[in-house]
Structure 1
């Protein structure tokens, strides 16, 4: 299938934002709605840098669970070379997605720190780990028994993230004139403004969503 991730120009990022803002959100399933309701209850409905950090911490979880299940599958089925090749390709895609979500998390940590935002240790350090651990177990179990459901669950999550980021930029026009500097620009992407980097992140989330939707068609372990 191959990764859809790519670094966009400033104009492409603005176009990507308009596409997202003009597109309806997906109809989320029960598990996804429960997760979002929990986050809104704990962190509030307002979009904040700190809340996005929690979102990114959780965003890596499905890819980690898929990689784990895939390695277990290869361990037991390595004699079936075509199967092993296909599963290992999925492992590589999951790793790339994990890395991409990690850059998002690190950039958000930079932006939060630069603003001097104070965060409650329980709410923003400990609880997110608990949520991520629980979500990992759910993703792992679903992927073992019904991979297509796990891909759809992730597509719903990424669709939510895509819209949240693009709406965040639209709701904060001051980001357009705020310069962006990061230790991770060489590894991730450079941007002239904070608005632009959020547009890039939002586009990444859309690509993750599309990859998950495409994976549903070939989601099987056989």
Structure 2
């Protein structure tokens, strides 16, 4: 069984170390549809990483999770006579909800490296109580990148498991 790590809030120094670790890690090759999406976005808005591009990508990245969640609810309905099986599906849906927000891990770390001015920009937000306090926007984006890397590692572990055994 794979246990979700949850969101671990790291210090600024730890976030900088994790940024270097992320940037040193080999990138996975994007699949064809992802490459088409990224190239199309680059044609429309340029190759430079921007916060606006991340927002669009985050919205698009949620679609497969939401579609899978709908299919899972149908599967749970049809497995009411096998409550243990239905429970495993439910648990996976709950974990997927947490993972919906975590997709562009390398990109955030590159964005911080390319925009040193983020180090001087304070993070002030109404979501501070929910997501945490950070000394700068750079640390916020490092935290997001770290969370997404953890999600990727968990997803790879899940892929090695049988889906509905």
Q: Same fold (TM over 0.5)?
A: yes
Match of 1:174 among 117, 121, 124: 117
Instruction: Report deviation, 1:24.
Output: 1.8
Runs of 4+ in 1 over 4 A off after TM superposition: none
How many equivalent pairs are there? 163
Aligned residue runs from structure 1 range 4-83, under 5 A: 4=5, 5-83=7-85
2:3 corresponding residue in structure 1: 2
Instruction: Report deviation, 1:70.
Output: 1.0
Q: How large is the Cα RMSD of the aligned pairs?
A: 1.6
2:106 corresponding residue in structure 1: 163
Match of 1:211 among 139, 154, 159: 154
Instruction: Report deviation, 1:38.
Output: 2.0
Write the distance in 1 (CA, Å) between the matches of 2:4 and 2:63: 18
Which stretch shows the higher mean deviation, 59-68 or 72-81? 59-68
- TM-score for the superposition, normalised by structure 2: 0.90
Instruction: Report deviation, 1:2.
Output: 2.9
- TM-score for the superposition, normalised by structure 1: 0.68
**1:51-107: CA deviation from partner (whole Å, max 9, x where unpaired):** 111111122222212211111110111211221121111011012223xx2xx8xxx
Gaps of 5+ in 2: none
- Identify the structure with the greater helix proportion: 1
Paired residues of 1:2 and 1:93 also in contact (CA < 8 A): no
Paired residues of 1:191 and 1:197 also in contact (CA < 8 A): yes
Write the distance in 2 (CA, Å) between the matches of 1:219 and 1:13: 33
Q: Is residue 135 of structure 2 the alignment partner of residue 192 of structure 1?
A: yes
2:95 corresponding residue in structure 1: 93
